[in-house]
Amino acid sequence: MAKISQSIKGNHNVQIAGDFIKTEKLVKTTQVVHNPDEHITK
């Protein structure tokens, strides 16, 4: 991580620095449950 240098002047100020963003890949899957008794066969 790179060195971060900040300065601020005044009142009621907020500073945030650093690596605080996290992203994740969301994977949705659909599962099909096959019941042979409920379907028409050949």
Task: Quick: pLDDT tens for 1-42.
Answer: 577 777 878 888 877 766 666 778 888 999 888 777 776 766
Please name the residue that has the structure tokens 């100020």: 13
pLDDT in the model for residue 7: 80
Q: Which residue has the tokens 């969301």?
A: 26
pTM for the model: 0.25
Report which DSSP code applies to 18: S
Cα–Cα dist 1/20, whole Å: 12
